[in-house]
Amino acid sequence: MMKTKEMRAREFLTELHALLQKHKVEISLEEESSSYYHCTKQMVATMQGVYHTETYEYLEEYTTIELGSWLEPSMPEEEFIGCRSIGGL
- What is the rounded CA–CA span in Å between residue 39 and residue 74? 6
One digit per residue, the tens of pLDDT, for the chain of length 89 reads 999 999 999 999 999 999 999 999 999 988 776 655 667 788 899 999 988 889 989 899 999 998 887 766 555 554 444 434 334 33
Domain that holds residue 38: 25-89
Q: Where are the beta strands (DSSP E) in 5-57?
A: 25-33, 38-47, 50-51
Whole-model pTM over 0.85 = no
Do the domain assignments include residue 19? Answer: no
Do the domain assignments include residue 1? Answer: no
Do the domain assignments include residue 59? Answer: yes
Query: Could you give the number of structural domains in the chain?
Result: 1
